[in-house]
Structure 1
Amino acid sequence: MPSTDLPTGTLARYRLAVALGFATQGFVFIGLTTRLPDLKDRWDLSELAISGVLLAIVLLAGGGSVLAERLAARTASARVLRAGLVLVAGGAALMLASPVWAAYLLGVGVYGVGLGMVDATTNMQAVALERRYGRTILPSFHGAWTFGGLLGAAVTLATADVDLAWTAVIAVVPLLAAGVAFLPRDEGTEAPGGTGVTTGPAIPWRPILMVGLGMVVFYMVDTAAQTWGAVYLDDVVDAPSRWVALATLPYLMASLVVRLAGDSLVERYGVTPVLRVGAVVACAGLVVVTAAPTWPVAVLGFTVTGAGISVVAPLSFSAAARIAGGSVERVDAVIARFNQFNYVGGLLGAVLTGVVGQDELRFGFVVPMVLVLSLLPLARWFAARGGSEVTPTRRSLHRN
């Protein structure tokens, strides 16, 4: 039974709205990253220059996440989410349609801040709904992100011959999503172990930090694959330009399948074994990518990588919210700060991959290939408090 005073139908509508927020973020993000080869050609950028642009986006997104934390302490996360979606729309449109370099950089700035705000607030909303349901539902929300990313990659494939400026119409999607009714704040909803952001027991930051390191690993691998995958197919294994988005599309399809199965996999086998097996699978996929002699083999490697790494992020947010405990405000603050691990991983995945691989991009993918194995020791921190493996429906996520 859901732990909430909201009618089941109303709860389902909010769940659909939050899933739409995730899907919109995925649609725009992948819609932009799969256009990187075109943006690279338009502005005559080197791999190092692209790394600089990505670094700016990551740093600005971190600032956007901090801004979301501050704003969510004063108003509902739903309002902050709407504002973030509007910024994402404006930034994406400028990045794709700008006729001059200065306007493109402005788009990078606006998009980066909006990206961080939406990242933080969609997860705030998802965690709040998960607590009301009393069971794990985070993987399905991240699956919605993946579904949106699949649509973004499909649009890129379908419009490969369209002038880049016209692809800015993707900005309409986040503008429409901003008008959706998201979950309002329930000031009375609390979890055991605290009564507010600053009251009650101190937030146990050490286990949250260890879970956060796992999320760093996820975003390092995920961002490397999604940001550099299309460039890798285009420059290294000589894929036809029309098919470079295939670095992302099968990766996302594999991620979607595993995320949709994530709830049952964790309930059946426990979070630690699921994460450890996934780490080994992801490492194997990246080995295939770095050694690929042809572009179809590289696509296979990206697909295996997506299957292995996909459930780390949703399980990270679930674990962080559970460990934090306390009121909605307390959990929102923790989730916004925890979201910063996203951008540390983004730095490693997007920027470090490009810097290490500036002369030979194959070498860049060795970085995530090696570091993904750090999930093997980190996985135990995702288990229930005290280290016991329990299913979400029995204890670890039953909150109210």
Structure 2
Amino acid sequence: MLAMSADPRAHLGRARLAIAAAFLTQGLVFISLTTRLPRIQDRWDLDELELSGVLLMMVLLAGVGSLVAERLAPRLDSAVVLRAGLVTVAVSVAVAILAPTTLVFVLGLAAYGVGLGLVDATGNMQAVALEHRLGRVVLPSCHGAWTLGGVIGAVLTLATTDVPWSAIALVAVLPLLAAAAPYLSRDHGEAATVTETDVPWRAIVMVGLALVVFYTVDTAAATWGPVYLDDVFDAPEELVALATLPYLVASGLVRLVGDRLTERVGAVRLLRIGAGIAFVSLAVVVAAPSWPVAVLGFTLLGCGVAVVAPLSFSAAAALAGRDADPATRQARVDAVVARFNQFNYAGALLGAVMTGAVGASSLRIGFAVPLVLVLALFWLARAFAPADELSAGAQDHTGG
């Protein structure tokens, strides 16, 4: 009997490692690409507006991938769709890196955008399902695994500036390995049909706006940070990834302790403190007199915005799962997570495209976009009360 009762926990432990591996792989591959944007610009002779167009295409197709996940996950299981997304990422990244022509490169990035959306949506579905089965907040640490992968990706970029471009395609092996991990399977005992009226979209949209702000800031830092150091300060080419690396390290450290931090401080208060730090740090980035000062600003920024995304998914899932039986809750949550993921791409669109477009003459002006938008987090933080309720419920459940 003891072995049988321990088995579910062991299964959830393996699933948690698998989900963390998926997040880590996604972060590693994404940051491996974005920290090489200056090199990509040189290789394909792209200016800022052309690069913005390519990034726009990738973001829009990531949104398509997320919508595909919304349709497929209830039928096939989010674990199956996650594996398919990881394989898509692996193949498309290899194609984009080894592309012999600009057209093949663009097609590879287009396919990567779809895979990105599939993995983003289903990875968060898996994390939310794990959070509910464990009965405690775990999304910050899951997103921390993404950040850890990003740190590894940035370090690899710094360490491989002189390797042949084709060797970078080896990064595609990692998503293939992650596709074989033991993810959570859906309980098919009872099917539940979810309609638009079942889901409290109005409350969820408020949380979604905070996610838009976060991804505007995050994508601006990850995508344009290296270009900012390169163009504005003429930093050494082998050091431009430092715009991203300290940002990711700081963000990752906060996320890895974010589960406990949320339970102790509370989601609403934690977000408002982070918003203040983010505003100051972006002001430092915009006004920086030298690239080391800009790097300091990016580092503080990572501390400020670290938990916005994971707590957004926690709050949205908590809203979706209220007053529902387990089968209906799971159906609602999967539908909400995939749709909610669209806020991710709206923010990425603002961060990647608007920062580049507004900052076409100077990226100092471009980084004023996230500087202004981050102020909205002070007001939007009140919508995160459901994440605090989830923490309180988890503590009561654990105590009982």
Q: Common fold, TM-score beyond 0.5?
A: yes
Partners of 2:216 and 2:269 lie apart in 1 by 21
Q: Distance in 1 between matches of 2:397 and 2:137?
A: 9
Is the contact made by 2:318 and 2:390 (CA closer than 8 Å) also made in structure 1? Answer: no
- Counterparts in 2 of 1:129 and 1:397: CA distance versus 1, 3 Å: farther
1:354 correspondence with 2:356: yes
1:74-85 alignment to 2 at 5 Å? 74-85=75-86
SS at match of 1:161: coil
**1:198 aligned partner:** 194
User: In 2, distance between residues paired with 1:93 and 1:124?
Assistant: 26
1:187 offset after TM fit, Å? 3.0
Is the Cα contact below 8 Å between 1:131 and 1:397 reproduced in 2?
Answer: no
Contact 2:216–2:347, Cα closer than 8 Å, also in 1: yes
Which structure has the highest helix share of the two? 2
Q: SS at the partner of 1:141?
A: helix
RMSD over aligned Cα atoms: 1.9
Residue 347 of structure 2: which of 328, 345, 351 is its match?
A: 345
Deviations 1:306-360 (A, max 9, x none): 1100100000001111100133222111110000000000010000000000111
Rounded Cα–Cα distance in structure 2 between residues aligned with 1:167 and 1:85: 17
Shift of 1:98: 1.1
Whole-angstrom distance in 2 between the partners of 1:105 and 1:199 = 37
Give 2:225's match in structure 1, choosing from 226, 229, 249.
229
Tell me by how many angstroms 1:394 deviates: 2.7
SS in 2 for 1:74: helix
Query: Which residue number in structure 2 is paired with residue 333 of structure 1?
Result: 335
Kept in 1, the 8 Å contact 2:355–2:369? The answer is yes
Task: Note if contact 2:34-2:223 (Cα within 8 Å) is conserved in structure 1.
Answer: yes
Deviation at 1:197, TM superposition (A): 3.9
How far residue 283 of structure 1 moved from its aligned partner, in angstroms, is: 1.1
Unmatched tracts of structure 2, length 5 or more = 322-327
Residue identity matched to 1:54: L
Secondary structure at the aligned position of 2:375 is classed as helix
SS of the equivalent of 2:233 reads coil
Residue of structure 2 in register with 1:266 after alignment: 262
Range 224-233 or range 323-332, more displaced: 323-332
Residue 142 of structure 1: aligned partner = 143
Matched residue count? 388
Q: Give the fraction of aligned pairs with identical amino acids, expressed as a percent.
A: 61
Q: Distance in 2 between matches of 1:396 and 1:315?
A: 17
Tell whether the 8 Å contact from 1:64 to 1:112 is kept in structure 2 after alignment. Answer: yes
When residues 397 and 242 of structure 1 are mapped into structure 2, their CA distance, relative to the original with a 3 A threshold, is farther
Q: 1:264 to 1:116 in 2, by over 3 A?
A: same
2-side partners of 1:277 and 1:293: how far apart? 26
Q: Which residue does 2:379 correspond to in 1?
A: 377
Contact 1:210-1:378 within 8 A present in 2 as well: yes
Match for residue 304 of structure 1?
A: 300
Give secondary structure in 2 for the equivalent of 1:115.
Answer: helix
> Pairwise mapping of residues 1-400 of structure 1 onto structure 2 (< 5 A)?
7-188=8-189, 196-198=192-194, 202-325=198-321, 326-384=328-386, 390=389, 392-394=391-393
- Consecutive unaligned residues in structure 1, runs of 5 or more: 190-194
Structure 1 pair 347–396 and aligned structure 2 pair: CA distance change class (3 A): farther
Q: Distance in 2 between matches of 1:187 and 1:201?
A: 23
| Cα distance, 1:164 vs structure 2 | 1.6
Cα 1:120/1:21, change in 2 over 3 Å: same
Runs of 4+ in 1 over 6 A off after TM superposition: 396-399
Structure-2 separation of matches of 1:32 and 1:384: 35
Contact 2:281 2:298 in 1 (8 A): yes
- How far did 1:34 drift? 0.5
Q: Give the Cα–Cα distance (whole angstroms) in 2 for the partners of residues 356 and 199 of structure 1.
A: 40
Change (3 A) 1:391 1:176: closer
Residues 133-172 of structure 1 show CA distances to partners (whole Å, capped at 9, x for unaligned) of: 0010000000000000111111111101112222111011
The CA distance in 2 between the partners of 1:187 and 1:307, in whole Å, is: 40
Residue type of the alignment partner of 2:15: Y
Residue type of the partner of 2:48?
E
Counterpart CA distance in 1 for 2:196 and 2:166 is 53
